[in-house]
């Protein structure tokens, strides 16, 4: 049985080229994320310091307008 001829130089070149594209896309995505994060942080009121003041602890939650009715 004969093996198919494999062009290793072509494969290596394709891997290098694809890695260049992947790295460029990753860099662009990270720059976009950093830019959007900066915009989001700039848009927040300055008195909030970040995730520590979230609604998870229940202190900042607004009361709801729902009324609870008891049927019976």
Selected residue with higher pLDDT from 70 and 58: 70
What pLDDT does 30 receive?
A: 98
Give the residue, 64 or 35, on which the prediction is more confident. Answer: 35
pLDDT of amino acid 61: 63
Give, for 40, the enclosing helix (H) or strand (E). Answer: helix 8-43
pTM of the model: 0.51
HSE (CB half, 13 Å, CA atoms) of 34? 6
3-class state of residue 26 by DSSP: helix
């Amino acid at each position: 049985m004969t093996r198919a001829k494999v062009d290793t130089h072509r494969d290596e070149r394709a891997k290098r080229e694809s890695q260049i594209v992947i790295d460029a896309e990753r860099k662009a995505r990270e720059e976009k994320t950093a830019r959007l994060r900066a915009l989001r942080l700039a848009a927040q009121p300055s008195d909030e310091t970040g995730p520590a003041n979230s609604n998870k602890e229940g202190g900042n939650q607004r009361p709801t307008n729902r009324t609870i009715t008891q049927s019976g």
